[in-house]
Chains A and B, each alone.
Chain A
Amino acid sequence: MSETSSVELNIASNAKSLPVVRGAVERMAAMEGFCEKDAHGLMLAIDEALANVIRHGYDGRPDQPIAIRLTTVTGPNERPGIAVEVRDKGRQVDPATIQGRDLDDVRAGGLGVHIIRTVMDEYDYSCPPAGGMLLRMVKYVGPGNAQG
């Protein structure tokens, strides 16, 4: 794919929106030449980011805005990739506090950020002056996406 292309989705902070976003992400990843495994990783990371905005940024309120922008990019070694921006208008927290936990014991919770860190090549939380949180992430196709 040579030209950059970009798609923006504006959803409400409702868990019902998540499959719709997954459907869009899955198709875009396939268009950009992501293999099934990488496409799933991208989809999962975005899903976890949105679930966190719904649960933490908006404390479960289902009618708040979330904007997702997907942009095709070219990364190291000309590898195609997809850059993702997730913006909310919810609670601002210190990006340093957004961390996965150690996975030594078997319990629920604290898995989302670990998943994002594992499957994405880059991720970065920030607090834009306009309010809310901004998460930027990138995933490239091919090697270098090894889980672990």
Chain B
Amino acid sequence: MSELEELYRRMLVIRRFEEELAEVKKLGEVPGSIHLCIGQEAIPVGVSALLLPDDYVTATYRGHGWAIERGSDLAGLFGEIMGRASSVAGGRAASPYLSDASVGFIGENSIVGAGVPIALGAALSCDRLGGGRVSVVSIGDGAMNQGNVHEALNMAAVLALPLVVVVENNGYSEMVRIEDMVRVTNLAERGAAYGIPAETVDGNDPVVVARAAAVAIERARTGGGPSIIEARTQRLVGHYSGDAQHYRPAGEVAAAREVEPLVRARAALLEAGRDAAELDAIAAGVDREIQDALAAARLLPLPDPTTVMEHVYA
């Protein structure tokens, strides 16, 4: 299987997971709101292709894709989001704050930017405990305006820690445009303020993302310190499950659908000689995987209310 084909399959897993989740949400099986990464799959997939099992990943509320790429159990993820006694976080965290220690997933974070200082801590462990491990953190474009991110970037540079900061620039923070909230064209321009190598890449191409990640991760593994990768992308859906997207100009999403990662990867694969049936078979396989996981999640029990006070302390 070619590199792209594998990346394509992995993006499909995330896409189908998210789509299925949207359906399950409509059925009333998901309490609370969910923030889907539909359209942004190339980023977790491209970056994670370079990661090893004992690396660490930190993400945001829009982090299902990162958890999946880390190798979290799909049924456990569905279950967690559906408020069940999941293998992931027992139903305590839900969609926007889940974590999974078993796969080095530091977790999502629902406080904008707050994951970066935490990922910095994981990078400190990687550095001090040895083994060439790295800590990757994903944030959104809007998060670049939070003080916590600024502080952590500077500190990562000063301590030369193995931290890779991935900025998934989807152009929006909730309902406002990033160009109205900063006075730089590319967020990667901020790297210079910290002395951190930074580049802006096409976030809808997993191969491009993987190439940038390879450089950054190699730099981190070999003591070269932090990097910033700004990956340009678009979300094809609302900020959260109930978002009517009135704020998006007409045609924007339709145009985005033309250049979204799965459409592009499929076209590239066809171009490279794969036939459609082959790709459909991959999709069917992914679909089964997702359906099985969802079915398994539906069998998970609800959390036992008598356990509500467990794990506040060690």
Say whether A and B bind each other: no
